[in-house]
Amino acid sequence: MRRSANAAHLGVAHPEPMAQRLPLIASPSPQAGFPSPAADYVEETLDLNELMVRNPPATFFVRVRGESMVDAKVFEGDVLSVDRSIDPRPGHIVVASYSGDLYVKRLSRLAGGRLALVSENAALRDEYPILYLDQAEDCTLWGVVTGSVRRF
């Protein structure tokens, strides 16, 4: 994900940031000696970025601390991809800044139409109170969680 720091003087606009990939080999190339039987099948290497990141300039990664979302399969230490270009809607798992802290929670519309950030851990329900958006001094929906990476 490291990108060139200096994008100065691009001249012509780049519609897409350039991802580092190996070349696409779709047709057999001229060769000497014994032809590789696999050459015709080499198409593309798999890139995890492609799976995780739809919109690179708007995608950030965060790391999960705590157990508040284990019922949503979000565990301590997981790396989440967060896409800021998606408009957050109720039902989305979001990252939000709430009174100065960053949280990962389910954005939910509760009874009476109130929007809230809700934890998902049935076993420890009391430890993670509901955060009502209309009660925060300062709440910003930071981005929508689009994926999770966990290493074992």
Which residue, 39 or 102, has its beta carbon nearer to another protein? 102
Catalytic residue among 81, 105, 119, 148: 105
Report the SS3 class of residue 46. coil
Binding-site ranges for another protein (CB under 8 A): 1-17, 55-58, 60-66, 68, 79-80, 84-85, 95, 97, 100-104, 138, 140, 142
Query: Least Å distance between CB 113 and another protein?
Result: 24
Which residue, 18 or 46, has its beta carbon nearer to another protein? 18
Distance of CA 62 to the CA centre of its chain: 8
Q: Is 125 left (phi over 0), alpha (psi -120 to 50) or beta?
A: alpha
Query: Least Å distance between CB 109 and another protein?
Result: 21
Residue 29 among the catalytic residues:
no
Which residue, 66 or 147, has its beta carbon nearer to another protein? 66
d(CA 108, CA 76): 22
Catalytic residue among 68, 81, 119, 148: 68
Distance of CA 96 to the CA centre of its chain: 14
Report the SS3 class of residue 135. helix
**Spatial CA neighbour of 107 closest among 122, 126, 120:** 120
Query: Least Å distance between CB 41 and another protein?
Result: 28
Residue 68 among the catalytic residues:
yes
Active site residues: 68, 105
